[in-house]
A and B are shown apart, each in its own frame.
Chain A
C-alpha cells in the first residue's frame, strides 16, 4: 500500500461549491504539507503542519483552510471553489531533521486533479 494516499484522485466541481481533499499517511511523520501545482509555477505551498496542534499558512493560503485530525490525516478545504483554483494538488510528509542535514526528502501522495467550472 502507498505510504501517502489522497482522495479523491480527480474531482470536477462548480464555482461556489465546498470541496474537501483528504490525505492520509503511514510514514509516521509529524510534518504534513499541501501544495498546488500549476503549469510553469512548480509547486507552491498552501498550508503546512508540524504536528496536530501546529498549523501554518504557506505562500498561497487565501481561499483554503486545513484540518489536522490526527498525526496521519491532513485535509484541505476549499470553502467556495473558484475556477482559478483548478490545479493539481499534492499532499506530502516529511520528517523533522532537528537542524541536522539529512537526506530525508518529502514523500508525496499521488495528487488530486481538481477542476472548478
Chain B
C-alpha cells in the first residue's frame, strides 16, 4: 500500500530564510506523481508543485522547489526567502498512474514564519 510520511509536525523559520519540509513515500509502482499543497488558516487547499517519477530534473515553481531523491523515496519541499504569508499547513501527496490513480496524503507539517 502507498504511504506518505511527513516527520515534522511543526516547523519554525525566520522571515527571508529558506526552509525544507520533509516528505518520504512508499510505493511499489514505477509511475507516480508527487504533489505539495498549502493550506492556510482559511482552510482552502492550494496546489504548489508537482514532480513526476520519471522527471530527471527537480521541479521548481517560483520560490518553491522540490528536492526529489528517487532512490531514497523522498520529495522534500524547499521554500526560499520565506514570507509571513507562507505560514500554513503543508501536505505532501502521491498519485499512482496505474491502479486507481488516487491520491494519498501525508499528515502535514505546520510551518510558522517568524518576523
Contact = CB atoms under 8 A, between A and B. Distances in A.
A48 B33 contact: no
B44 A48 contact: no
Interface in B47-84: 47, 50, 52-55
A71 to B, nearest CB: 17
A88 B50 contact: no
7 A-B pairs with least C-beta separation: A108-B45, A101-B52, A42-B105, A43-B105, A42-B107, A105-B47, A103-B50
B98 interface: yes
A99 B98 contact: yes
A74 interface: no
Interface residues of B, number: 26
A76 B76 CA distance: 33
Given A90-B45, A108-B45, A99 B91 contact: no
Nearest to B52: A101
Contact of B44 (A96, A97, A102, A111): A111
Contact of B33 (A33, A40, A101, A110): A101
Contacts of A15: none
B31 interface: yes
A14 to B, nearest CB: 23
Contact of A88 (B6, B43, B103): B43
B12 interface: no
